[in-house]
Structure 1
């Protein structure tokens, strides 16, 4: 019979001092003539969150000591688990001696020892110990273990200190270390060596990365990563810091190698801050020593860099934005001085709801400036522009389900041009437009399936006019024709080029939504004008009197699969642009793919034909094995761009990642390169990372 021995706590002054928090439960309890309390059978003791279970506990009142007979199990509030054959501990279950014991930390790392000494100060010493996170099967050695003469666990500092340690693989000693310090699995951030990575590259040679993490307080840290390779010497510095109002991350790469003379560098940084009055400030920094350093060290595939400083404020009634950006080109044959390299912009927009006559009124003021330093007038032209605009729109029901949308827009701009004698120094311009849109959504409920179909014909008619001098088209060179721009007044992305004349948009949208969440939608449309729109690229015929046909469809086939298609083509079905995206996510496979096609253009900008396909796949072959593959292929050039394959293997105590990649970029500055990578991580010592053990059968 189980008895609660709270009445006998008077015999235990140390336990009684816990003000009722100490409890002892057992099948049988006796008190000897020597004033010793003995509890036998399913014994459980509780004190201040610590729980002890054993087959027998004897309390010696004169020595104020508990003698415990195993099998013993002790769990602490901090997540530690002790098992032992025998123990002598104090009544508070805090300090004492355990023999034939084992310590388990965070259900990941287990340390067996011939003896464990616990102190009340948060230190635990383990003598003749072996630490591993691998499953131990019978008397055989685990996959890996660290044997040491002594291990000290600092519960407060969450650190493990090994004395006279040796690392073993399947029982075979591999390396000996006189001293070793490792974080315990409960520590989120700790200074120390991170997972090394072996690599091999055509450009850099064979080497190893040795990242070392330095904790600089609770809100700052620094990761120092030296590269030791046969053809290069590289040092990476990654600094991070957070404040209550924001954060900063800065990565610096310093290198010397056989491909370039002198010091090579790349500086990549970003950050964001919250300022008073709901203002957000962010920045993005990108700077390199040469055009090839990003590709040589596999830092980025970017061929244009943009360093930006931006401040903005978003509210329900509008937004304000100020931004300055510096561009740098890494492309062959393109000069950074004529991009333009420096662009600044100011915007302020206010939205009034409801506005006049019950509609929505949008008021906007903006300004931008760009500076160049090129060799020709067009490449040296500096431009500043300031403008104000207003727009009003309203939707209302005018018949049996017919929705009439009305929209008015107007803007006034002033341009100031310098360093280009072919352009007026100051040129004003005004633009105004008006349009109406009719929508007639028709809904049908399917019988038997509870699915809903919606078919919606849409027709829009608009007119726009412009007065003043037309500026040089700097920001509307390559507009896109899609579902979002078919029925708008202005389909161009910038302010320099504005649509004029009469135009009409015709479209038809159909969608089907099932109760299980699967949806299918299709949009078809075309844009008609009274005249061609000059100074615009010919893509999708957006500037012609009759645009190409537009088809856009989206299919969501449940939570695990989605497909999107977009295409434009003329009456002879010659495709001018096409885009397809596939997303597939199942338990064993994740797959995403994309295809892009753009025909060559000669109007506005000289643009070569673009035809590319890319795929990204992850295949899980079971609880241990996984495969990853990424590829990008330039169909127009009939040449691959990049390919990468990786394999991962993990169990409860080891994670191994192997990768191979090939970059095919071949320019004057960059040669194609193949690289390999290998990293091995011992689970159980990764600060802040939970191990997810893969089930393993000891008989397998």
Structure 2
């Protein structure tokens, strides 16, 4: 037993033996005072085989033959455990430890700190009485009691207790909230707190009382019980409250049930999650009954999952269903106006890719009929590349098959708003073989060449204007030239300027097959140098096209980067399948302009648009943002011109603003604003305010959605959430703890 410098070292043999026994007893006690471990064995050899214990004191002496006393700065250590006191008396006959305080027991591994004035405990700290006890769990939850009893090395029973996670600085200051209880039992094995006669107080004012209350301690991540409620107010649903109840099922799955009662409806929301060894599954849903619609019980069910299959395959699926088209909007679940069910199995390797998918759509739009929408879509895609040492270039072989089925049996366009033939079913099989290679010559010029052969077979049913079967073989070739010019400046900044040009040719002419997959065309940087700008193979560009562009990139030593891309396409003949807003409906395409900018201060800017001959944008989008530790600001802009070919009879032009600002360390605000420039009115406004400190989190949110062509009823929704921090289900709030002066 080491002693401090200057302490008496002339102990008798009996004192040395008793000191070893006391150190062993304290070692066993430190192992069981917080974690429930086996009690200390009397055998000294068994104790010494465990982690070594250390007892330090100013004075150690034997009182009689069976009592050992350690006084003056007593400190007992074993591993990370530490006990400090002013005096420890050990009675070997009664196996009783009397500890005089102030007492401090630290258990860093389990995040528990115990402070006390005086304690009487048996060997191993399995049972005993602690007076003036204060327990701090995970540096968050504080339990102050008149006395505490230790029972069976597992339970700590506290009497006349105050429970809070609020910081109290002054002698007369009261916590923001506290729970007063006549008795609290802490089960350290289950990590639960059981409170009797619990009284919840705000600023020391009683607000409500519960005869029994169970709460998880802060070290428990998944605890069965009620979560903090959310108070809601809606112009459609009225005033209500939502009280979630969390049910863990083992270590890998759980269920959350959330009754939502309002003045006009009653709902039960549910979420099920399960983690598998090779995947995960999440299901959400709700059942509701209300008095503003005569549809009886209403509800929805969504599910999604991802699983790893043998041979590196991955399975992904989503499923969505709803009782009626208005339910999701009425209960503010999602703004989606179409539901989708998907199933995809695929694998990606270094030189090959394969995927198979099924999709099913269900429309919620009142001007669309589900019988005329693509009910089931099946897709299959595979491609592989080949590299041979004796043959230059790279060969690729790809195959794709798609099938689409509608419930309608009409072979012409019906009275609905859809311009497609109501009952058309179609299938397509496409095979593509290609070769490409690149060379470098002269002053860094890069020359590329590619050759393609497309084989397509189309089958169409229930369309009076389209042949039943069409087979086509289409050749294609392209030559491109790049000249990347790089400059490195004296300060380390780098700039890249790369002009590009391409001549492409695709043989044949447009077939009579229906356009099912290429009704929306996006002309952007990704397909500037491409033989076809159509998204799928049921449409191909034919004839000769010329493309030219310029790419510029700069990386400054100060950390900011900027990039700009310009491009344009020239065609021998106008392709009538290109819509007005595609930017490709004339011999000379619109100018493609795209740029981005970032800097170390957190500012980002990205924009893309198509500029026509009259210097007007036919399609544009932009996003600007600024982020730092206290603030996130964002603004987005979208412009889509009128285009009947894409089902857009009115232009779309709107701004969206969103922000998060940390006003102080504890206060935070959020905003969301969407403004329709065409109608010159607000479309949606959302405001949020959150206060958070070490012991409470209050969130208030308000959203106003105005009437529009897709939302006929304006609505206002208000949510209020109050959560007490310091419990396992609510997470840590230690970073918000105040410092007392």
Deviation per CA, 1:409-468: give whole Å up to 9, x if none.
221111111111221111112222110111101112223x32111111111111011368
How much does 1:41 deviate?
A: 2.4
Match of 2:188 in 1: 155
Q: How many residues align?
A: 698
Of stretches 125-134 and 463-472 in structure 1, the one that deviates more from structure 2 is 463-472
Query: Aligned equivalents of 1:104 and 1:609: distance in 2?
Result: 61
Match of 1:466, SS? coil
The unaligned stretches of length 5 or more in structure 2 are 10-14, 27-43, 413-420
Partner residue in 2 for 1:673: 715
CA displacement at 1:90 relative to structure 2? 3.6
Distance 1:668 1:352, change over 3 A: closer
What is the CA–CA distance in structure 2 between the aligned matches of 1:325 and 1:692, rounded to whole Å?
46
User: Residue 40 of structure 2 aligns with which residue?
Assistant: none
Task: Decide which of 60, 64, 74 is 1:43's aligned counterpart.
Answer: 74
User: Could you say which residue in structure 2 is the equivalent of 1:176?
Assistant: 209
Rounded Cα–Cα distance in structure 1 between residues aligned with 2:551 and 2:360: 42
Contact 1:428-1:468 at 8 Å conserved across structures: no
Q: Where do 5+ consecutive residues of structure 1 fail to align?
A: none
CA-based RMSD of the aligned residues comes to 2.1
- Shift of residue 640, structure 1, vs aligned partner: 2.7
- Which residue in 1 is equivalent to 2:340? 306
Counterparts of 1:669 and 1:255, CA distance in 2: 21
- Paired residue for 1:64, among 95, 99, 111? 95
Contact between 2:125 and 2:150, CA under 8 Å: does it hold in 1? no
Q: TM-score, normalised by structure 2?
A: 0.90
Q: 1:612 maps to what in 2? A: 654
Give the 3-state SS of the residue equivalent to 1:18 in structure 2: helix
Q: Equivalent residues in 2 for 1:176-575 (5 A)?
A: 176-261=209-294, 262-354=296-388, 357-374=391-408, 375=410, 377=412, 378-447=421-490, 449-466=491-508, 469-558=511-600, 560-575=602-617
Q: Partner residue of 2:415?
A: none
Shift of 1:541: 2.4
Distance 1:362 1:198 in 2: 59
Q: 1:106 aligns with which of 107, 113, 138?
A: 138
Q: Give the whole-Å Cα distance in 2 for the aligned partners of 1:317 and 1:457.
A: 30
Q: Kindly indicate whether the alpha-carbon contact (under 8 Å) linking 1:536 and 1:604 is maintained by their aligned counterparts in 2.
A: no
Q: 1:571-623 CA deviation, whole Å, 9 max, x = no partner?
A: 32121112111121112111222111122124565553111211221000111
Deviation, 1:31, is: 2.5
**Whole-Å Cα distance in 2 between the matches of residues 627 and 470 of structure 1?**
57
CA 208–151 in structure 1, closer or farther in 2 if over 3 Å, else same: same
Report the equivalent of 1:124: 156
Once residues 394 and 101 of structure 1 are traced to their aligned partners in structure 2, the CA distance between those partners, rounded to angstroms, is 79
State which of 4, 10, 17 in structure 2 corresponds to 1:2.
Answer: 4
2:240, 2:262 within 8 Å by CA — same for their partners in 1?
Answer: yes
CA contact (8 A) 2:684 2:704 kept: yes
2:536 alignment partner, SS class: coil
Deviation at residue 562 of structure 1 after TM alignment: 1.0
Give yes or no for contact 1:623–1:695 (8 Å, CA) kept in 2.
no
Q: So what's the TM-score if we normalise by structure 1?
A: 0.96
CA distance in 1, matches of 2:362, 2:609: 32
Q: Which residue of 1 aligns with 2:36?
A: none
Residues 214-245 of structure 1 show CA distances to partners (whole Å, capped at 9, x for unaligned) of 11222121111111110111111111112111
Secondary structure at 2:650 match in 1: coil
Q: Cα offset for 1:62?
A: 2.2
Greater CA drift, 497-506 or 606-615: 606-615
CA positional deviation for 1:95: 3.8
